[in-house]
Amino acid sequence: MANLNKLVQKCNAASQMSIANLNRLVKKCSAASHMKQVQAHLTTTGRLRSRFCPVRSKLIELYALSPLPHLPHQAHSLFRQIDNPSTNDFNAILRGLAASSQPAAAISWFHRMLRRSHKIDALTCSFVLKACARVLAWQETLQVHSQVVRCGFAADALLGTTLLDVYAKVGDIGSARMVFDEMPVRDIASWNALIAGLAQGNFAREAIELFKRMRAESLFRPNEVTVLGALSACSHLGALKEGEKIHQYIKDEKLDANVIVCNAVIDMYAKCGFVDKAFVVFDSIKCKKSLITWNTMVMAFAMHGHGAKALEIFEQMGQAYVKPDAVSYLAALCACNHAGLVDDGVRLFNSMSENGVNPNMKHYGSVVDLLGRAGRLQEAYDIVKSMPMVPDVVLWQTLLGTCQIYGNVEIAEIASRELVEMGSNNCGDFVLLSNVYAAHERWKDVRRVRDAMKNRDVKKVPAFSYIEVDGVINKFFTGDKSHARWREIYEKLDEIRFRIKEYGYVAGTSYVLHDIGEEDKENALCYHSEKLAVAFGLISTSEGTSIQVFKNLRICGDCHFVIKLVSKIYNREIIVRDRVRFHRFEEGSCSCKDYW
């Protein structure tokens, strides 16, 4: 600090400091006061308005990238004092905005630059593309791409990598592949960028296929970054076989010396339904386990309903001198939630502040759900009222969901009013309140809720399930008949329907929300997406083979009961991963112990 102040004093004393000294000075600036002193020197010496001043551009960049809320505005103020801003000046602003909380502003500045006919360079396009990636601006990405081609920057490998990454993230896979295929030189960054972009952009299957293509065609060997993208894709799809192949490659190439890679392998096995395999990797890690390693394992056990094991790992963190953070506590609370360990969960929640971790919205949501589903609704509501922050939509939805379980009309109406006031237009909110009223046979109120849904044009999120068989993802919607083997699937469902009645199955028609007759309700239940996926698994895999189904929403109560019976009747292990957790069905019972 003393050396920097001396340099600033020299700056103020000299009318013309050398460019080298100015560059050295601005690079050492960390405090706002130092930046302003450099700005004052540039102003008094006339350099601020000169045609070309790299130090000015660097100062704008420092202002724009500053985490202090008022300094980015100072960058704009400084820029407006320049008579003829250079490309570097514009780039400084663009870089700061692209990394800020308002990345869309970088796109606006780019358009302003084009309107003024200012010269752009490859860096200009790179910064704007990064902003496009953050706001998923497809149309603007096309515009920047056209400038890249027009200005002759297409041969820039780094810019090409950025461009294909953006296309992948905005979901334009065709353009991403076109950029990739047309790149004159592909380096390992370009391969990694497209694989990661596909994985993050909900094109997991394409990401896995590109990983295999890279191994077959490329001169480059997949590295740590490559396998992270591929493992992420496997986790998303639940593609165990592909994940195992990637894990074997990791071991062969000694990439498991990297703890980040090991963390991704643990996460992959857990999300593919095999928490035991995840624990084997966790237990055999040779490098030092990071906090993320511990958190990943706790959450893995939590997702699979192994509450006691999750808490055991959580306790071992302390013994290993790893201090739990907010994520650790959230994972442990989720474990208690999924296993019904109410007292353990409350104890953990109450101990957070004592251990230097302030509960956030997700922690409050988890403990509210834990208490609510245990029937302690008043305690849950009292916690909501005592929160130091304003409850968000998700928390009120959580409370409303627990009210449905116990038919608590009073608290359900309070939660529903709060959701309406917050502008929530989620179909599930209305359905939950309608179910609470229906449980008390308050049909007039049920109709009122349904009318409100129609008036607000509330759209229901379509439920879908998918299952991988022989490397092919088969996706089903409720009542779906688009599959090539739909007739066989429906015949199998009819068989299942007949056989489960021998075990005393009665359709849970309360889960059907339509104002239709009981027989029609039974038919509607029979063709839920997860049942279609399970039926397809039965007809397309050999006896004794495990069936894995993935669903975008929570599994419904009727499907849960039916799949339990199917696992017993057909002697199959059936694993269903829904939006919240895993359900492992074996011999007529579920790993969640009917608590989810």
The reported pLDDT for the residue numbered 437 is 82
**What pLDDT score was predicted for residue 522?**
58
Query: Three-state SS for 533?
Result: helix
Q: Give the residue, 292 or 7, on which the prediction is more confident.
A: 292
Looking at residues 368-379, what average pLDDT do you find? 93
Query: Does residue 300 register a pLDDT over 80?
Result: yes
pLDDT of residue 346: 96
Between these two residues, 450 and 465, which has the higher pLDDT value?
A: 465
- Taking only the tens place, the pLDDT of each residue in 423-432 is 777 777 777 7
Give me the mean pLDDT over the 561-572 stretch: 94
pLDDT band with cut points at 50, 70 and 90 for residue 317: very high
Say yes or no to pLDDT of 4 above 70: no
Boundary (domain end) residue, out of 54, 81, 108: 81
- Looking at residue 457, its pLDDT comes to 73
Q: Residue 379's Cα: distance from chain center in Å? A: 31
3-class SS string, 324-362: CCHHHHHHHHHHHHHHCCHHHHHHHHHHCHHHCCCCCHH
Residue 285: its pLDDT value, please? Answer: 93
- CA distances 562 to 506, 569, 575, 576, Å, are 10, 10, 13, 12
- Calculate the CA 567 to chain-centre distance: 32
Residue that terminates a domain, selected from 81, 112, 128: 81
DSSP string, 273-294: T-HHHHHHHHHH--SPPPHHHH
In a domain, 209, yes or no: no
Q: What mean pLDDT is predicted for residues 313-334?
A: 95
Q: Does 218 fall in a domain?
A: no
Band the pLDDT of 356: cuts 50, 70, 90.
very high
Q: What is the pLDDT of residue 120?
A: 87
pLDDT value for 14 = 41
Per mean pLDDT, which range of 71-80, 91-100, 130-139, 421-430 is the poorest? 71-80
pLDDT over 70 at 535, yes or no: yes
CB-count exposure of residue 542 (10 Å: 0-12, 13-18, 19+): exposed
Does the pLDDT value for residue 533 go beyond 60? yes
226-259 residue pLDDT tens:
999 999 999 988 888 899 999 999 999 999 999 9
Q: Which token pair is 31?
A: 């405090």
Task: Give DSSP secondary structure letters for 242-254.
Answer: HHHHHHHHHHHTT
Q: Is residue 486 part of a domain?
A: yes
The sign of the CA dihedral 206, 207, 212, 215 is positive
Question: With 0-12 CB in 10 A as exposed, 13-18 as middle and 19+ as buried, what is 214?
Answer: buried
Q: Is 582 helix (H, G, I), strand (E, B) or coil?
A: strand
Residue 133 lies in a domain: no
Q: Is the pLDDT of residue 7 over 80?
A: no
177 occurs within a structural domain: no
Q: Total structural domains in the chain? A: 2
pLDDT recorded at residue 43: 63
Least confident of 88-92, 139-143, 335-339: 88-92
DSSP annotation of 515:
S
Does residue 175 sit in helix, strand or coil? helix
CB-based contacts of 531, cutoff 8 Å, min separation 6 = 493, 496, 559, 562, 563
For the chain, percent of residues with pLDDT exceeding 70: 85
Q: Above 80 in pLDDT, residue 372?
A: yes
Q: Are 332 and 310 in contact (CB under 8 A)?
A: yes
Is pLDDT of 441 > 80? no
- Give the list of residues 6+ apart from residue 88 with CB closer than 8 angstroms, or none: 54, 57
**Chain segment 471-521, per-residue pLDDT in tens:** 788 999 988 899 999 999 999 999 999 899 888 887 655 545 444 444 445
Q: What is the pLDDT of residue 516?
A: 43
Residue 587, pLDDT > 80, answer: yes
Question: Which pLDDT value is given to residue 331?
Answer: 96
To the nearest whole percent, how much of the chain has pLDDT over 90? 41
Give pLDDT tens digits for 123-179.
Answer: 889 999 999 989 888 899 999 899 888 888 888 888 888 888 888 888 888 888 888
Taking the CA atoms of 205, 209, 215 and 221 in sequence, report the sign of the dihedral they define: negative
Instruction: Please give the pLDDT value at position 11.
Output: 47
Range of the domain at 55: 1-81
In a domain, 365, yes or no: no
Do the beta carbons of residue 58 and residue 41 sit within 8 Å? no
The Cα 83–Cα 51 span in angstroms is 8
Residue 409 falls inside a structural domain: no
Residue 147 lies in a domain: no
Mean pLDDT across 307-336: 95
Q: Is the pLDDT of residue 218 over 80?
A: no
Those residues with Cβ within 8 angstroms of residue 496's Cβ, 6 or more apart along the chain or in another chain: 531, 535, 562, 566, 569
Q: What is the pLDDT of residue 295?
A: 97
Q: What whole-number distance in Å separates Cα of residue 118 and Cα of residue 162? A: 22
448: pLDDT confidence band, cut at 50, 70 and 90?
confident
Question: What rounded mean pLDDT belongs to the chain?
Answer: 84
